[in-house]
Structure 1
């Protein structure tokens, strides 16, 4: 089991690319003590609000504070679950409809541990991390959500 790790850079400018996700997964094939991976991908939805189509979300944050809180969440999850490996990446800036803005990747010996840890970490991110979202509509108007 991995102990508390150094703080990692987890805020990425723009959408999280599928190739980045695939590379992250591929790097784990040598870690033979892992029996289960659980992955959460947050994708920007094509919503309609007040008759306006969403074309994307512009994410902003106070990076140092967000990175510190994400590091605290990592430590909390590592202390509560037998997690072998954990990766968290969140977008900043414009992410268009259909693109990925949050990538959480948990690895454990067993699937239930991975599922439980993943659910808790995603809920903690949504509740605690100061990342603000501005929905951008097709007519270039916007609303903070």
Structure 2
């Protein structure tokens, strides 16, 4: 693994749909790319013990999390023949219906882009120290359990 500086992954609040559109548009000039795969994580209005989730408040030990994101990215580039990969994750409050995770992989071929995107999502969910506090409609809260 190289000693590249970890890329900034975190954004405050929800990930704007415009950010996704800009990411797609910025890849149009890269003519060696034949496929993109995108995963978008969205906040659900889950019902927990009779209460409905209205938002999730994300927090993280940012420096540690950025390093884990970087390690996942480096392994993915050694494992898959991808051209590029971008990851953005929310910090702070994200309301139901809003986006909290954006993973975008590109490759010459679709199968590789899809497999790499799935790899990123699974690794992020299992390894990155990000914590979500579910906020209910009555403003009570509890720590979210990852599924």
Q: How does the TM-score come out when normalised to structure 2?
A: 0.95
Please say if 1:36 is aligned against 2:35. yes
SS in 2 for 1:103: strand
Mapped partners of 1:78, 1:4: distance in 2: 14
Where does the alignment leave 5 or more consecutive residues of structure 1 unmatched?
none
Query: In the alignment, does 2:100 pair up with 1:91?
Result: no
Does the alignment pair 1:102 with 2:85?
no
Residue of structure 1 in register with 2:124 after alignment: 125
CA distance in 2, matches of 1:135, 1:57: 5
Q: Do the aligned residues in 2 keep the contact of 1:44 with 1:98 (CA within 8 Å)?
A: yes
Measured in 2, the distance between the counterparts of 1:7 and 1:127 equals 19
RMSD of Structure 2 on Structure 1 (CA): 1.2
Shift in Å, 1:83: 0.7
Alignment of 1:35-114 (within 5 A): 35-114=34-113
TM-superposed CA distance for 1:4, in Å, is 7.7
TM value normalised by structure 1: 0.96
Tell me by how many angstroms 1:6 deviates: 3.6
User: CA contact under 8 A between 1:36 and 1:114: conserved in structure 2?
Assistant: yes
Residue 5 of structure 1 deviates from its aligned partner by: 5.0
Distance 1:91 1:63 in 2: 11
Deviations 1:26-85 (A, max 9, x none): 000000000000000000001111111110000000000000000000000000000101
